[in-house]
A = this chain, B = another copy of it.
Amino acid sequence: MNTADLGLPVDVPSTALFTDQYELTMLRAALRAGTAERRSVFEVFTRRLPNGRRYGVVAGTGRVLDAVENFRFDEGVLGFLRERAIVDEETLDWLAGYRFSGDIWGYPEGEVYFPGSPIMRVEGSFAECVLLETVILSILNHDSAIAAAASRMSSAAGERPLIEMGARRTHELAAVAAARAAYIGGFTTTSDLAAGFRYGIPTVGTSAHAFTLLHDRERDAFQAQVNSLGRGTTLLVDTYDVAEAVRTAVEVAGPELGAVRIDSGDLLLVAHRVRQQLDELGARDTRIIVTSDLDEYAIASLAAAPVDAYGVGTQLVTGSGHPTCSMVYKLVARAESADPGAPLVPVAKKSTGGKTSIGGRKWAARRLDAYGVAEAEVIGTDAVPAELAERQLLVELVKGGEVVAREPLDVVRDRHIAARAGLPLSATQLSRGEPVIPTEYLSGRSGS
């Protein structure tokens, strides 16, 4: 089934209004000034990782490609812009024919990144590129923040599966993107049906406390669930007394009971007790799933506990303390004039208050040490040194307005696991630290 074609709630007709007004007023002014057609290069990068994080995770690239394709101004949108007098008629005419016709290069989705990494590069006329700032940043800043948290959690969980269940803690459509980003970061399944529908991510879910409370006795609830979902289901055992619930669960479902879920209390202690009780009852294959306010630290602390899977909600969808990245979209080079062949000039805002930008169109490569482990993120604007030519990070995503790099989510997920594995071992330490490899700028005078 091609789930993308089913008209799901997250397929939006147009992304053109996911835009800050200033992008349209700049367009209007540039059209009038004759500068709108100057060839321009915008780059997405971040000046720093969130405090203490060792690496970032690029996520959202696939969604950016969808957003760029659907960035069109239809009659309803144009009518709104006219009524509000946000742009003039000349600009409205220009917008009516808008279709991005430039090129986009970027780090492939799932790749890791570091401060200064040119995660995405958008090239075309100033007019067509400036409009994409907000939607590109919204997607990359949100999705990458979630993927980074997911990656830390999946490191901490090791081989144990992780269930994404944070939909209730974030905006209903952010939740769908969060489930996608979590999957990229190493999660196994999601509770969010819209994410299953839209992206084909495996979904799971059995019951909540309300189901036990609905019934006259806990036993009735367990029996009803087993009757409906089979003995392989997961029974929630902490509505009243855990030990009694575990006994009842095995009585009702037999030792074939799939799993029990614990959603409150001291998970370390309770998991040990429940494991012992299940074993004594002969339910040695019944798994234990824990799900109460987990983050990567709680997951790590349960490494030695008899836990078979983790469900993570709030801390996943809020980026475990860092709900957004600080990616920016900056003009780094533009043509001297609107002539098609005019040379590019590197440009940058003057540095103040830590807002440093480096002008010029950049390449990036990851240098490896003698053992094949990453040792530096190397960025430059001149020719790529021969020894790094094969290690370049940017790939072509959009060519002349056509998306050329769609890929299945599993490919992205595998890429992330491989990219993380290529970093020094300290990358997956949960403690606060510096980026695990340094960013090196090769100095260069030319920006084109």
Q: Do A210 and B323 contact each other (CB < 8 Å), given the known contacts A13-B7, A197-B77?
A: no
Within 8 A of B (CB), among A1-53: 1, 3, 6-10, 12-15, 17-26, 28-30, 32-33, 35, 38, 40, 42
Q: Does A96 contact B (CB under 8 A)?
A: no
Q: Does A152 contact B (CB under 8 A)?
A: no
**Hey, which chain B residues are within 8 Å of A165, CB to CB?**
20
Q: Does A432 contact B (CB under 8 A)?
A: no
Contact across chains for A205 and B172 when beta carbons are under 8 A apart: no
Q: Does A405 contact B (CB under 8 A)?
A: no
Within 8 A of B (CB), among A36-87: 38, 40, 42, 67, 76-77, 79-81, 83-84, 86
Contact across chains for B22 and A17 when beta carbons are under 8 A apart: no
The CA of A334 and the CA of B28, in the complex, are separated in Å by: 60
The contact of A213 among B324, B331, B336, by CB within 8 Å, is B331
Contact across chains for B175 and A18 when beta carbons are under 8 A apart: yes
**Hey, which chain B residues are within 8 Å of A177, CB to CB?**
171
The CA of A214 and the CA of B238, in the complex, are separated in Å by: 62
Q: How close is A140's CB to chain B, nearest CB, in angstroms?
A: 9
Q: How close is A272's CB to chain B, nearest CB, in angstroms?
A: 16
Q: 1/0 per residue A239-271: CB within 8 Å of B?
A: 111000000000000000000000011100000
Q: Does A343 contact B (CB under 8 A)?
A: no
**Hey, which chain B residues are within 8 Å of A208, CB to CB?**
22-23, 26, 133
Q: 1/0 per residue A409-440: CB within 8 Å of B?
A: 00000000000000000000000000000000
Q: Does A341 contact B (CB under 8 A)?
A: no
Greatest chain B CB density within 10 A among A1, A13, A174, A241 is at: A174
Q: Does A227 contact B (CB under 8 A)?
A: yes
The CA of A12 and the CA of B13, in the complex, are separated in Å by: 10
User: How many copies of this kind of chain does the complex include?
Assistant: 2
Q: 1/0 per residue A306-332: CB within 8 Å of B?
A: 000000001001100001101001110
Range class of the A interface residue count: 35 or more
Greatest chain B CB density within 10 A among A3, A229, A266 is at: A229
Q: Do A215 and B33 contact each other (CB < 8 Å), given the known contacts A42-B210, A169-B324, A323-B318?
A: yes
The contact of A197 among B80, B130, B216, B227, by CB within 8 Å, is B80
**Hey, which chain B residues are within 8 Å of A79, CB to CB?**
1, 6
Give the residue name and chain of the B residue nearest to A325 (CB): B169
**Interface segment, one of A346-354, A373-381, A383-391:** A346-354
Contact across chains for B80 and A26 when beta carbons are under 8 A apart: no
**Hey, which chain B residues are within 8 Å of A13, CB to CB?**
7, 9
Q: Does A302 contact B (CB under 8 A)?
A: no
Contact across chains for B170 and A141 when beta carbons are under 8 A apart: yes
Q: Does A191 contact B (CB under 8 A)?
A: yes
Given contacts A17-B194, A29-B227, 14 further A-B contacts (CB under 8 A): A6-B79, A8-B76, A9-B13, A10-B12, A21-B196, A26-B206, A26-B211, A30-B214, A80-B196, A138-B171, A171-B177, A214-B331, A214-B334, A323-B323
The 7 closest A-B pairs by CB, nearest first: A21-B205, A22-B205, A33-B224, A29-B228, A171-B174, A137-B168, A210-B331
